[in-house]
Amino acid sequence: AQTVTQSQPEMSVQEAETVTLSCTYDTSESDYYLFWYKQPPSRQMILVIRQEAYKQQNATENRFSVNFQKAAKSFSLKISDSQLGDAAMYFCAYRRFSRGGSNYKLTFGKGTLLTVNP
Amino acid sequence: DGGITQSPKYLFRKEGQNVTLSCEQNLNHDAMYWYRQDPGQGLRLIYYSQIVNDFQKGDIAEGYSVSREKKESFPLTVTSAQKNPTAFYLCASTRFPAGGDTEAFFGQGTRLTVV
């Protein structure tokens, strides 16, 4: 079974600084997807960034980027120029690549609560 | 606008009662999921359904039941057999099979409290 581990229950960062959230996962699959979701106080889950395992290039979305290390099964999220609105719970998630009849469920880590200090 | 609607936002249940949480989507997604969120536990999968009239147990299905009679709807019933039902419940959907859109879309959640 796939597992996702987020080893940092809480992190804090100063506004405008950079922070990196860690995620490791365990899978025997070679094709899969990885995600970072953000859950602000409203509790609405918002997709931050997505990475396909077959792509060597790290995904980037504006101030958000990942460091995807497939061999190490590591998928960290870097937030640059942190803003007050980045304060939220961040979840790392894994999803197996779909082939006919495959299991498509998302497996989540336990989350990292990010605080942004003004 | 396409999306997932969960209702109600807050729900109170007396001990021994069954309650049903509603989840409706108009994204034309085939697969739907129910997750439970507790502090420090992340999101844990209760049930999921890949197509109409079919569903599978997730990691914590005991005390819950679901149905999938329509593509758009995936209601979750929390039965009296669920010993600790107070939690935040999230419904999600994905395309099946996954093409370019591989991520899950989520509803806004239902907070269930046993009183």
Radius of gyration from C-alpha coordinates of chain B: 13
Q: Flag whether residue A40 sits within 8 Å of chain B, measured between CB atoms.
A: no
pLDDT for res B100: 52
Tell me the pLDDT tens digit for each residue of A11-54: 999 999 999 999 999 999 888 899 999 999 999 999 999 999 98
CB–CB contacts below 8 A, A to B: 62
- Positive or negative: CA dihedral A115, A60, A38, B43: negative
Whether A48 and A76 have beta carbons less than 8 Å apart is answered as: no
Q: Tell which residue, A8, A13, A97, has the closest CA to residue A50.
A: A97
| B45: nearest CB among A98, A100, A105 | A105
- For residue B100, give the chain A residue with the closest CA: A52
Sign of CA dihedral B87, B1, B48, A32: negative
What tens digit of pLDDT does each residue of A1-13 get?
689 999 999 999 9
Residues of A in contact with B35 (CB under 8 A): 108
Among the partner residues B33, B98, B104, nearest to A98 by beta-carbon distance: B98
Length of chain A: 118
Q: Which of A8, A91, A108, A112 to mutate to test the interface with B (most CBs of B within 10 A)?
A: A108
Sign of the alpha-carbon torsion through B86, B31, B60, A111: negative
Indicate the pairing of strand B110-114 with strand B10-13.
parallel
- Give phi and psi for A85, each to the nearest 5: -70, -5
